[in-house]
């Protein structure tokens, strides 16, 4: 049975709100902060005006270059912090977040 919502098939999955990520504590010690997906989504979808599909299908290089291009177009300075991560930084991210 295919459900339709506004002409598009509706996902059979139901979204559940599970509370704030990163707010759980184990043994009285706060867990490590999760990867900053929400902040990155705000930049990509809100600031760059990307569709969610464009955000999720972009590579990290495309994402950071889009930020640099946006900043250049707005007359801002390109900061080193917006550059794509180096190999060592990427390895650290993969080790931390899998």
- pTM for the model stands at 0.46
- pLDDT 10s digits, 58-83: 999 999 999 999 988 888 765 555 67
Would you say residue 55 lies in a domain?
Answer: yes
Mean pLDDT of the chain: 76
Mean pLDDT of 22-49: 76
Spatial contact of 39 and 67, defined as CB atoms under 8 Å apart: no
Query: Each residue of 22-33: pLDDT tens digit?
Result: 545 455 555 666
Please indicate, yes or no, if residue 61 is contained in any of the structural domains. Answer: yes
- State the residue range of the domain holding 39: 33-98
What pLDDT was estimated at residue 12?
A: 52
Is 24 inside a domain boundary? no
11-15 average pLDDT score? 51
What is the spatial distance between Cα 77 and Cα 57, in angstroms, rounded to a whole number?
27
């Amino acid at each position: 049975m295919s459900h339709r919502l506004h002409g598009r098939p509706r996902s059979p999955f139901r979204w559940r709100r599970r509370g704030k990520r990163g707010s759980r504590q184990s043994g009285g010690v706060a867990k490590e902060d999760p990867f900053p997906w929400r902040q990155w989504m705000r930049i990509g979808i809100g600031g760059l005006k990307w569709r969610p599909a464009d955000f999720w299908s972009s590579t990290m290089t495309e994402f950071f270059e889009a930020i640099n291009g946006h900043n250049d177009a707005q007359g801002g300075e390109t900061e080193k912090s917006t550059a794509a991560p180096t190999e060592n930084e990427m390895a650290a991210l993969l080790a931390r977040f899998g």
